[in-house]
Structure 1
Amino acid sequence: MTATVVQHSTAIRLIQQLAIQNQDQLTGQLDISAPSGERWSLYFCVGRLIWATNHSHPVRSLRRQLNAYCPTFNFESLAVRESDRFVCWNYQVVWVLLKRNVLDKDTAIAIIEQTITDVLFDLFQQERREPLQFETVHHEALSILRMQIVAVNLKQAVKRAKLAFDEWRGAGFAQVSPNLIPVIRNLEGLQENVPAKAFEQLRKKVNGQRTLRELSVLTKIDITRLTKSLAPYIRKRWIDLVPGSEIPKPGLEPPQTPRGARPDPAHKRLIACVDDSPQLCEQLGKIIKSAGYEFISITDSVQALPILLEKRPQLIFLEQHH
């Protein structure tokens, strides 16, 4: 694995850097960082884009895309085992859902293309604020090829993102990130100046939990038009825009029980005994282990608390003093 670092400060340089990876037929990733701490990665296979991610909110972004393109899927039920088969978790999820037939090929491609568009949009916006640094990381080709769902044309991806950002900037939102969350600050002001039905809808949907992009998906309204409709309330400070935090990954898939084997109901259930009598601990241990539980004995009362805090047994037998 090799890495090359280059620093540029304009959108032209950003596009040039993408073109270089295309011409050099990069198989790996282009890591991009800004002085503010923001980080992105673009993934290539033989010079063509296959995925992109914003490291500040990859889980939130994936949930938004699944809500948009597969609205019947319950994101909270998502269970994908952690794997090192691909370096990016959210791409791995799309790949697994495709293999499980939760997503069809066209839907998976739409999610990939929109994710790349959103990341490039964010990069075009970020480079207007501060210089970006690029690091090229090469990966073993076979591992990338095995996971590739689609190779996206770089010029078309850049064109889509640039058109979206130009429309956004043309509406006066060049300094407004679509990843910000609108929060109602003056409920009374809104209620007095917005028709009752519209007010109820606004209060329900602008709940302080959804980004502008997520609201666009929820309402099925183009994000520029949606933000324009909120702009008068934002200018009056009835609604504020605040940074959105990342959401936790949904539960990971539990380890599978080998075929033909029964799950052990006592697996990882630990019972502890704290007593200064080794004989008593030994006898109790035989009984507990024969029932299929794990057992630890602690005969030194000074060490008892640290050990119990570390092991966290489900049940503790304590010596009784009279």
Structure 2
Amino acid sequence: MRGNLSEIDIRSILQLIELGQRTGQLLVEADFHNSEQTIKDKANRHRHSRNCQQRFWFVFFLNGQIIYCQEGDSNLLRISDYLQHNRVEMQLDEQQLASLGLDHATEYGYLWALLERNMISPKVAHNIIHQLIHETLFDLLSLHQGNFIFLQGVALAPQLTSLEIAPLVAKITQQRQEWKQLYPHIQSPEQLPIIADIVQLSSSLPAATVSKLQQWADGKTSLRQLARYLNRDILTVAKVIYPYVQQGWLQLVYSGTTNLKIQIEDKETEKNHQVRIVCIDDTTTICETVESILQQQGYDAIALSNPLEALSLIFRLQPDLILCDISMPELDGYEICAMLRQSTAFRLIPIIMLTGKDGFTDRVRASMVGATDYLTKPFGDTELLMLVEKYVDLQTCVGTETRYKTC
């Protein structure tokens, strides 16, 4: 059995394997064209780069039940995370790893090696395998494009446990639906939490909770890793931090934004405050033009061409003014503006909408979501600078309750 995920989805494939009580392995390949992986892929690349990466997964079956799942090949990082929760150190050397002899299932063989050496108990190994299966299917059930092949054959051996497909898929499907409700504030299990407002956190949460957040929200630990360390599923962890992300107290970034974060931190250490302006526009030429115009006038201008990445980064950037295109794929300017206005950190920040047409409807909609003003494209240097200076000056001259006005 083989085919394309655009013709049959993962859930249906698993159901067929279960109904047929098949034994063997399923290989799934994807190239980031599903929605969540597209987000992650774009956020991990510079806007001028268009490299495409592929990911693949293995699912192993015995008589129509799942006995193991794994993403990629020969990666022990997941095992390491789970063993950290159970306070077990990985102690097999390269020669011992090579002797495991399990193609495409090194981490499964590693668990068995630990069991045989009495370094973990059967209960711990059983729990880790269940969690590995759960998190792999959580990703697989979100795929809508890619290829698959099921190879019927001898089961992966030895077996420690097996799971019925129907109840497992039903549970994870429900979790996927709840996960979508956290979007776009939380987009991917691979996002890295960072504390953006320690003052608000400290005043609203117990000291012990803040201490734990400071420990884990270091910009190096992903939500998925955090779930492994805490022995919780990814949805539970995401729901716990969601209110803090929504308020702007915690920020979620992707590992590919590291260089930008460093630039932000460097600029935050400058003694003299420089007015920071963020431009969100999916057109690269607009981004570069705005950056050039504003930087020549001494502004700290940062252009972001991925609206989803921008929404994640903007809480960290803390701009004094935002320029936001209206028409963008995946997330338009109206949605971004409305989301930002829900956060106390952005209720008084001027947001100027960039529109390709001077229409009354656009102006009304922009006003309804809380936009400060709008600028029609194409615009010249003078138009842009006059509008920016209008609201930058307004910020320095009036009280906090009137820092912006709606258009």
Please tell me the TM-score bracket, short chain as reference.
Answer: 0.5 to 0.7
C-alpha distance in 1 between matches for 2:228 and 2:70 = 19
C-alpha distance in 2 between matches for 1:115 and 1:174 = 25
| Structure of higher RCO (CA pairs closer than 8 Å, 6+ residues apart) | 1
Aligned to 1:6: 3
The 5 Å alignment of 1:84-233 reads: 84-125=101-142, 127=143, 130-139=144-153, 141=154, 144=155, 146-172=157-183, 176-184=187-195, 186=196, 190-195=197-202, 197=207, 198-219=209-230, 223-231=234-242
Provide the TM-score with structure 1 as the length reference: 0.60
Return closer, same or farther for 1:119/1:73 CA change in 2, 3 Å cut-off: same
C-alpha distance in 2 between matches for 1:240 and 1:158 = 28
Corresponding residue to 1:73 among 88, 91, 112: 88
Partner of 1:209, secondary structure, is coil
Equivalent position amino acid for 2:14 in 1: L
Partner of 1:41, secondary structure, is strand
1:64-114 CA distances to partner (integer Å, 9 max, x unpaired)? 33334xx12113x34442232453101111121222222322322222122
C-alpha distance in 2 between matches for 1:214 and 1:156 = 25
Aligned to 1:256: none
Return closer, same or farther for 1:238/1:86 CA change in 2, 3 Å cut-off: closer
Equivalent position amino acid for 1:151 in 2: S
Contact (CA 8 Å) 2:59, 2:70: kept in 1 or not? Answer: yes
Return closer, same or farther for 1:216/1:173 CA change in 2, 3 Å cut-off: farther
C-alpha distance in 2 between matches for 1:105 and 1:234 = 38
Contact (CA 8 Å) 1:5, 1:136: kept in 2 or not? Answer: yes
Q: CA deviation at 1:121?
A: 0.8
Return closer, same or farther for 1:191/1:110 CA change in 2, 3 Å cut-off: closer
Q: CA deviation at 1:164?
A: 2.9
Equivalent position amino acid for 1:241 in 2: V
Return closer, same or farther for 1:45/1:209 CA change in 2, 3 Å cut-off: same
Provide the aligned length of Structure 1 versus Structure 2. Answer: 227
Contact (CA 8 Å) 2:29, 2:148: kept in 1 or not? Answer: yes
Q: CA deviation at 1:219?
A: 4.7
Q: CA deviation at 1:211?
A: 1.4
Return closer, same or farther for 1:113/1:171 CA change in 2, 3 Å cut-off: same
Equivalent position amino acid for 1:131 in 2: Q
Equivalent position amino acid for 2:129 in 1: I
Q: CA deviation at 1:16?
A: 1.4
Equivalent position amino acid for 2:202 in 1: P
Contact (CA 8 Å) 1:65, 1:115: kept in 2 or not? Answer: no
1:241 matched to 2:256? The reply is no
Return closer, same or farther for 1:56/1:204 CA change in 2, 3 Å cut-off: farther
Q: CA deviation at 1:24?
A: 3.6
Identity of aligned residues (%): 22
C-alpha distance in 1 between matches for 2:191 and 2:170 = 24
Aligned to 1:312: none
C-alpha distance in 2 between matches for 1:150 and 1:221 = 20
Provide the TM-score with structure 2 as the length reference: 0.49
Contact (CA 8 Å) 1:6, 1:135: kept in 2 or not? Answer: yes
Q: CA deviation at 1:215?
A: 1.8
C-alpha distance in 1 between matches for 2:3 and 2:28 = 10
Corresponding residue to 1:60 among 77, 88, 92: 77
Contact (CA 8 Å) 1:66, 1:73: kept in 2 or not? Answer: yes
Equivalent position amino acid for 2:89 in 1: N
Q: Please provide the CA RMSD for this pair.
A: 3.1
Equivalent position amino acid for 2:191 in 1: L
Q: CA deviation at 1:151?
A: 2.5
Segments of structure 1 that go 5 or more residues without pairing to the other structure are: 245-322
Partner of 1:177, secondary structure, is coil
Equivalent position amino acid for 1:202 in 2: L
Contact (CA 8 Å) 2:27, 2:57: kept in 1 or not? Answer: yes
